A and B are shown apart, each in its own frame.
Chain A
């Protein structure tokens, strides 16, 4: 069988390397890379055995590939990649966001080769994180995401870019140090009796489950919760996010919100919840508390924002809080909801950050209160803002709805009437959004500059792709749900 995961990885790496050196034609190279990537992900989908009940169209499709990499007497490290439903959905998100970002940034004039190359590198890293099944490989890709993002913020960012890039780097890097030590400790303590320690996911999971005490598991889980949680971001380690988002260029914000936050969620599910079930069970109250805190804090603070990017940034904290809540429920419905919600948030927050970028280009400010009634002047932009906001607050037939609904349903099943706590917060936020929409988009034009013009075609297309997908998966969430629910290789714990 063809090693499709490695082929995909290789093609994206090669495309990204080409992008870096193709000078003026970088955007074309980047677009070609992204399209090939999406095609290959489509193939992975097509061949994935969870896709149809018949067990895959290409029978016997290799969902994991393993090659020996570093083997010494005490340590065994493999190049080991694999895909299950959870990864596949997030890999699809990566491919979609790469295309959308490249198209949206089509006219980038400041060192375009480096810009598109770094965008590609971020996507390579994310793809790698989603498929890696070995600690070294996982950490390698995890770090590989950090560096391009640091440069995207630090070079192409806004006026306080240096501060924001540094803060982003310090927060996430310290967290990844804790994460790595926790992962290594899980591996080495779990396999302490055996002579050789394998850093392979399956080996770690088996050894940890049979050898680690509940106390050790809890300790390690909390360390990983911190390590992955900073990327999430969880309150109170979220303060890098608004700064990074506000200062990052639009493409950087899109990848940051769309992909990087998902790395934290994916990592928590794959490496903490699946490997340390007992630790997770003991730490659940803490996870739950942090989830509710993040939901509440994200919403309340976003109500007070006038800067559109900060508003979206804080609503991201709120949405990722719901993801954490769905994980904390610890049922297969909850985990399915968490993954679906991450996909939904990836699409919607990317869309909202694009609209914020276009809003800034058009009106020269991101201050929402400074203009009003912009629809007659910029109908396309207004449509996108409207679509993004409605998707964000969970309008049925848009992608967030099935995800949030499933998350709340799982919460209801597990905690009963407590579900009204997050639900109440969501309703208040939704009302606020509608009121803001009404003021900014509709009503009589107020302070609209005469020079305002509607979005250029490439920005429109970039946003249009995401709106289309939000509608498509909003109407047919089953396309993704089937895949997530059928994760035969590294599957969910039972219901």
Chain B
């Protein structure tokens, strides 16, 4: 019993790990139909999601609780792990992404090489993310991120079809390894400066206002920012993202954009939000009394990177001809909005960024899944290949339109609400943050153009004279064509869910926003 009690808090992680092992077992036993192994992955992530939602205190799910309510948002300890409600919300975000991608991937052809492996890797990557959400220690956090990273490197190239996908995997691996190195090096410097790698202990030291080696701390945090910025695709560490999203199978791109990016964001939350950014150790001077005032420096860096990222992503997205590359650049620009919340740094800002992350899971995962579905029904990789889809495949087109409108922040979608909350938070912070709201709003105006162009192509341009033959290849890769199938039930269900959620939360965001707001408030309060 004691062992069981010890294991209870880790039930979501154990469920995901168990499902992953089961998938690999099925592969060895020769049970390779995607419906079966996919079913394991779907039910595994669904069960874990249920436990996480119960731990968040969702009404009606009390029986699934794995944590006593008192241990969530508890006072910090010196342990490796800690449960915060914000962490649980991010766990839910990651599990939703995994669930959607697994559900959609049940429609991938079973004959494809390594199909079961894909689901196993998906679950392992999710496991790493779940571990990151409970991290209380810098090294634990970075190791958890490594678990995810290594799984995703393989996922990008697992089909081994075509050089473009392999090139993407290789690029992802090299850049990812470099970013991990930077982050770990930064962690070692931080250890040197603070004598501990426990995040709460570091916060406690910072809160006192006297750091032994301020320059060392700044360098360490700088390296960590660089390492995490790679994961979050922040400019100027974004260059890998487009090639990888473009070269990977669309389901993998959906997972990378939907979940991996948020992992970097959450890690930035965990390391930097709180006293690191907000305790002024002295007056207005950068070096008050010989010690460095980190807060203003880091906030300015985050603000500049946020605006730079969203502008850069949006401008380049305007110029793209291929659908997946356009979505990849738009995904980069979305990372800028997420970071905006950190630069604002208040509880409302944090809540806005988290809501934006939550919304983005549905919007961007859904959009990439639509691209996957489009490939399965013979729609080419270029934006112009979508001509006439509005009348040929009305349901797919409507779902895509809803997702794109949400990405553009059009009213009555969750994208609108999340941006509205985020920009309200910026204005609420007053002072120069109002200009962050202006920059963000102008950027979302810019983004309307490239999303609008896709809608125009889908609904208004005349259909191409010779439609691309069914079974054509996606992503511009030179791989041999897959056998043409339909959209498939799994994919249709996943896309349908995303589109419906996007509209439903756009009309009534209160349940999600309420939970996120209280989580963000707690997050800033504990350990401060």
Cross-chain contact of B410 among A147, A177, A189 (Cβ < 8 A): A147
In the complex, how many angstroms separate the beta carbon of B422 from the nearest chain A beta carbon? 11
Cβ contact within 8 Å between A143 and B410:
yes
Q: Does A304 contact B (CB under 8 A)?
A: no
Instruction: Pick the most buried of B348, B424, B452: most chain A CB atoms within 10 A of its CB.
Output: B424
Q: Does B417 contact A (CB under 8 A)?
A: yes
Question: Which residues in A have their C-beta under 8 angstroms from that of B521?
Answer: 73
Residues of B contacting A: mostly: helix
- Chain A residues bordering chain B, tally (CB within 8 A): 34
Question: Which residues in B have their C-beta under 8 angstroms from that of A184?
Answer: 423-424, 427-428, 437
Cβ contact within 8 Å between B441 and A75:
no
Mark each residue of chain B from 407 to 431: 1 if its CB lies under 8 Å from any CB of chain A, else 0: 0001110001100110111011010
Cross-chain contact of B438 among A136, A154, A177 (Cβ < 8 A): A177
Cβ contact within 8 Å between B421 and A75:
yes
Q: Quick one: given A75-B421, A177-B441, are A185 and B517 in contact (CB under 8 Å)?
A: no
Measured CA separation A19–B354 after assembly (Å): 37
Interface pick from A41-49, A64-72, A96-104, A265-273: A64-72
Question: Which residues in A have their C-beta under 8 angstroms from that of B452?
Answer: 150
Cross-chain contact of B513 among A70, A155, A174 (Cβ < 8 A): A70
In the complex, how many angstroms separate the beta carbon of A187 from the nearest chain B beta carbon? 8
Q: Quick one: given A174-B445, A184-B424, are A73 and B430 in contact (CB under 8 Å)?
A: no
**B444: nearest chain-A partner, CB-CB:** A177
Cβ contact within 8 Å between B430 and A69:
no
In the complex, how many angstroms separate the beta carbon of B360 from the nearest chain A beta carbon? 19
Cβ contact within 8 Å between A140 and B448:
no
Q: Does A2 contact B (CB under 8 A)?
A: no
In the complex, how many angstroms separate the beta carbon of A82 from the nearest chain B beta carbon? 20
Q: Does A282 contact B (CB under 8 A)?
A: no
Cβ contact within 8 Å between A189 and B411:
no
**A183: nearest chain-B partner, CB-CB:** B427
Cβ contact within 8 Å between B437 and A181:
yes
Question: Which residues in B have their C-beta under 8 angstroms from that of A150?
Answer: 452
Q: Does B192 contact A (CB under 8 A)?
A: no
Cross-chain contact of B351 among A72, A178, A181 (Cβ < 8 A): A72
Measured CA separation A129–B3 after assembly (Å): 61
Cβ contact within 8 Å between A71 and B411:
no
Query: How many Cβ-Cβ contacts under 8 Å join chain A to chain B?
Result: 77
Question: Which residues in B have their C-beta under 8 angstroms from that of A397?
Answer: none
**B417: nearest chain-A partner, CB-CB:** A70
Q: Does B509 contact A (CB under 8 A)?
A: yes
**A192: nearest chain-B partner, CB-CB:** B430
Q: Does B460 contact A (CB under 8 A)?
A: yes
Measured CA separation A141–B411 after assembly (Å): 8
Measured CA separation A181–B445 after assembly (Å): 14
Question: Which residues in B have their C-beta under 8 angstroms from that of A68?
Answer: 510
Measured CA separation A141–B416 after assembly (Å): 12
Q: Does A144 contact B (CB under 8 A)?
A: yes
Cβ contact within 8 Å between B416 and A69:
no
Mark each residue of chain B from 493 to 517: 1 if its CB lies under 8 Å from any CB of chain A, else 0: 0000000000000001110011001
Q: Does B301 contact A (CB under 8 A)?
A: no
Q: Does A197 contact B (CB under 8 A)?
A: yes
Measured CA separation A265–B456 after assembly (Å): 31
In the complex, how many angstroms separate the beta carbon of A16 from the nearest chain B beta carbon? 13
Cβ contact within 8 Å between B348 and A75:
yes
Q: Quick one: given A70-B510, A173-B445, A177-B441, are A188 and B424 in contact (CB under 8 Å)?
A: yes
Measured CA separation A140–B410 after assembly (Å): 8
Residues of A contacting B: mostly: helix
Q: Which of A64-107 contact B (CB under 8 A)?
A: 68-75
Cross-chain contact of A136 among B420, B510, B517 (Cβ < 8 A): B420
Measured CA separation A189–B426 after assembly (Å): 12
Cβ contact within 8 Å between B510 and A71:
yes
Question: Which residues in B have their C-beta under 8 angstroms from that of A173?
Answer: 445, 448
Question: Which residues in B have their C-beta under 8 angstroms from that of A155?
Answer: 460
Q: Does B396 contact A (CB under 8 A)?
A: no
Q: Does A425 contact B (CB under 8 A)?
A: no
Cβ contact within 8 Å between B428 and A70:
no
**A125: nearest chain-B partner, CB-CB:** B411
Measured CA separation A184–B351 after assembly (Å): 17
Q: Does B75 contact A (CB under 8 A)?
A: no
Cβ contact within 8 Å between B430 and A189:
yes
Q: Does A180 contact B (CB under 8 A)?
A: yes
Cβ contact within 8 Å between B510 and A185:
no
Cβ contact within 8 Å between B416 and A140:
yes
In the complex, how many angstroms separate the beta carbon of B486 from the nearest chain A beta carbon? 24
Q: Does B347 contact A (CB under 8 A)?
A: yes
Q: Does B442 contact A (CB under 8 A)?
A: yes
Q: Which of A169-202 contact B (CB under 8 A)?
A: 169-170, 173-174, 177-178, 180-181, 184-185, 187-189, 192, 197
**B416: nearest chain-A partner, CB-CB:** A140
Cβ contact within 8 Å between A188 and B427:
yes
Measured CA separation A290–B182 after assembly (Å): 57
Measured CA separation A75–B417 after assembly (Å): 13
**B459: nearest chain-A partner, CB-CB:** A114
Question: Which residues in A have their C-beta under 8 angstroms from that of B442?
Answer: 174, 177
Q: Does B434 contact A (CB under 8 A)?
A: yes
**B442: nearest chain-A partner, CB-CB:** A177
Measured CA separation A187–B424 after assembly (Å): 10
Cross-chain contact of B427 among A70, A73, A185 (Cβ < 8 A): A185
Cross-chain contact of B517 among A69, A73, A180, A192 (Cβ < 8 A): A73
Question: Which residues in A have their C-beta under 8 angstroms from that of B509?
Answer: 70
In the complex, how many angstroms separate the beta carbon of B524 from the nearest chain A beta carbon? 12
Measured CA separation A69–B514 after assembly (Å): 11
Question: Which residues in B have their C-beta under 8 angstroms from that of A114?
Answer: 459
Q: Quick one: given A72-B514, A136-B420, are A181 and B412 in contact (CB under 8 Å)?
A: no
In the complex, how many angstroms separate the beta carbon of B318 from the nearest chain A beta carbon? 12
Question: Which residues in B have their C-beta under 8 angstroms from that of A170?
Answer: 445
**B421: nearest chain-A partner, CB-CB:** A75
In the complex, how many angstroms separate the beta carbon of A109 from the nearest chain B beta carbon? 16
Cross-chain contact of A188 among B416, B417, B428 (Cβ < 8 A): B428
In the complex, how many angstroms separate the beta carbon of B292 from the nearest chain A beta carbon? 31
Cβ contact within 8 Å between A181 and B427:
yes
Cβ contact within 8 Å between B424 and A75:
yes
In the complex, how many angstroms separate the beta carbon of A9 from the nearest chain B beta carbon? 13
Question: Which residues in A have their C-beta under 8 angstroms from that of B410?
Answer: 143, 147
Question: Which residues in B have their C-beta under 8 angstroms from that of A180?
Answer: 423, 441
Measured CA separation A73–B425 after assembly (Å): 12
In the complex, how many angstroms separate the beta carbon of B53 from the nearest chain A beta carbon? 19
Question: Which residues in A have their C-beta under 8 angstroms from that of B428?
Answer: 74-75, 184, 188, 197
In the complex, how many angstroms separate the beta carbon of B337 from the nearest chain A beta carbon? 15
Question: Which residues in A have their C-beta under 8 angstroms from that of B456?
Answer: 154
Q: Quick one: given A70-B509, A189-B430, A197-B428, are A143 and B411 in contact (CB under 8 Å)?
A: yes
Question: Which residues in B have their C-beta under 8 angstroms from that of A187?
Answer: 427
Measured CA separation A140–B507 after assembly (Å): 11
Measured CA separation A144–B411 after assembly (Å): 7
Mark each residue of chain A from 117 to 159: 1 if its CB lies under 8 Å from any CB of chain B, else 0: 0000000000000000000100111011001001000110000
In the complex, how many angstroms separate the beta carbon of B430 from the nearest chain A beta carbon? 7
Cβ contact within 8 Å between B517 and A72:
yes
Residue numbers of A with Cβ under 8 A of B are 68-75, 114, 136, 139-141, 143-144, 147, 150, 154-155, 169-170, 173-174, 177-178, 180-181, 184-185, 187-189, 192, 197
27 A-B pairs with CB atoms under 8 Å apart are: A69-B508, A70-B421, A70-B510, A70-B513, A71-B510, A71-B514, A72-B351, A72-B513, A73-B518, A73-B521, A74-B428, A75-B421, A75-B428, A139-B411, A140-B412, A140-B416, A141-B411, A147-B410, A155-B460, A177-B442, A181-B434, A181-B437, A181-B438, A181-B441, A188-B427, A188-B428, A189-B430
9 tightest CB-CB pairs across the interface, nearest first?
A: A72-B517, A140-B411, A184-B427, A177-B441, A188-B428, A173-B445, A74-B348, A188-B427, A185-B427
**Other contacts beyond A70-B417, A73-B521, A75-B428: 11, CB < 8 A:** A69-B508, A70-B510, A70-B513, A74-B517, A140-B411, A147-B410, A173-B448, A177-B445, A181-B434, A184-B423, A188-B428
